[in-house]
Amino acid sequence: MDLGFTGEQVIEEARRLSPRILISFSTGKDSIGMSLALRDAGFEDIQPFYLYQIPGNLAFIEESLDYYERNLFNGIRIVRMPHPSIQRGLRKAIFQPPDRLGLITEIDIQPYSSQDVADDIIGWLGWPSDALTAIGIRAADSQNRYSLFKRKGMAAAINVSAKKFYPIADWNKERLLDKIKAAGLKLPVDYRLFGKTFDGTDLRFIAPLREHFPADYQRVLDIEPFCDMEFFRYEHRQVAAQ
């Protein structure tokens, strides 16, 4: 895809600006391909991190993270950190029972962003505060992304003020899948179950989870006891449509 720059140029400039980088790793195909592009690119240090959406994480995701630590990151530990959706969900009491509301209010959970999480990791590592984070976003995924990268060029591919860069912005799906296949890596079980990586507790995710990983489904219920209302809503809609 012609964006006026290449992923190789983005990586070269990012390496000049930030020899130590974080890799935002979701276990999805884009983050796998991005990690392959960066793994042998000559950075002094790389540190992948994963944002879990269920405190304590889910066992099937942990299995995937363990696999990629061994087979993609050459033994580098993937740092597990809480996704901002956790604080958003708790502050809004999503799927929470009434007897927890007082405690949630008393705790006064403060909002945080994914950049706050990245900054915490950078501080823990003792890296310079302006270290960059690699994000696996491709222009081919949407017209809006394509327009942004095409219009702003390298300024969009490496956003210094936001401390982010996009090393595979110019990759198409064929190149991405070929890269993963050539490395001998498998995609996570998420794609078979959900068609994408695990991304929340709505029916698209908890229905397959309940069927295939009941212990993980119970873990979700421990955190969000009322998420099984999704099944009631679905059944009610089915009856109403008849």
Give the H/E segment covering residue 50: strand 45-52
Domain annotation covers residue 225 = no
Give the pairing of strands 164-165 and 132-134: parallel
Q: Which residues of 90-113 are buried (b: 16+ CB within 10 A; e: fewer)?
A: beeeebbeeeeeeeeeeeeeeebe
Domain annotation covers residue 98 = yes
Domain annotation covers residue 231 = no
Domain annotation covers residue 2 = no
Task: Give, as one character, the DSSP assignment of residue 100.
Answer: G
How many separate domains does the chain show? Answer: 1
The whole model's pTM is what?
0.94
CATH classification at residue 41: 3.40.50.620
Domain annotation covers residue 151 = yes
Question: CA distances (Å), 86 to each of 57, 136, 218, 242, in order?
Answer: 12, 22, 17, 36
Domain that holds residue 150: 7-193
Domain annotation covers residue 201 = no
Range 118-127 contact pairs with CB under 8 angstroms and sequence separation of 24 or more = 118/22, 118/24, 118/49, 118/163, 120/81, 121/22, 121/47, 121/49, 121/79, 121/81, 122/22, 125/20, 125/45, 125/47, 127/20, 127/45
Domain annotation covers residue 229 = no
What are the pLDDT tens digits along the chain (242 aa)?
Answer: 789 999 999 999 999 999 999 999 999 999 999 999 999 899 999 999 999 999 999 999 999 999 999 999 999 999 999 999 999 999 999 999 999 999 999 998 999 999 999 999 999 999 999 999 999 999 999 999 999 999 999 999 999 999 999 999 999 999 999 999 999 999 999 999 999 999 999 999 999 999 999 999 999 999 999 999 999 888 877 656 66
Contact 52, 76 (CB under 8 A): no
